[in-house]
Amino acid sequence: MAGRDRALARAPAAFPYFRNRELVNVKYRSLDKEFSQVPKAEKVLFGLDDCIGASEIIVVEGEMDKLALEEAGFRHVVSVPDGAPPRCPQPVPWHPAACPVMGLPAGPALTRAARLLA
């Protein structure tokens, strides 16, 4: 592991990414807002398992946004794994089955939702 990666591995924030209760990635954030992820890890939405069976899902830009909304009482919130892209190619349609979210395939947690708020 390179020096920078070792430093990030000891970073004060580590965000575990789960899919079907299985840990598939960990994203680290340093105090300087540098990010690192587990090499070759699967890209999934942060909080994906929190949305299984939800009729409405809120999609946010970052893990801290997801955690803030969770603290405010919104349980069905996901964050994109790499933050918002510099420019969205098209508006996200109201129904998640119509298009993948930020380039990720829409899994069962998203396709069963009646409405996706981004």
Residue 5 reports pLDDT greater than 80:
no
25 has pLDDT over 80 = yes
- Predicted pLDDT at 96: 45
Distance CA(73)–CA(86), nearest Å, equals 29
- Give the 3-state secondary structure of residue 33: coil
Specify which of 4-8, 15-19, 39-43 reaches the highest per-range mean pLDDT: 15-19
The per-residue pLDDT for 71 is: 94
pLDDT of residue 99: 45
Q: What is the pTM of this model?
A: 0.69
Q: Residues 56-115: pLDDT tens digits?
A: 888 888 899 999 999 999 999 998 877 766 655 555 444 444 445 555 555 665 666 666
| Residue ranges per structural domain of the chain | 3-117
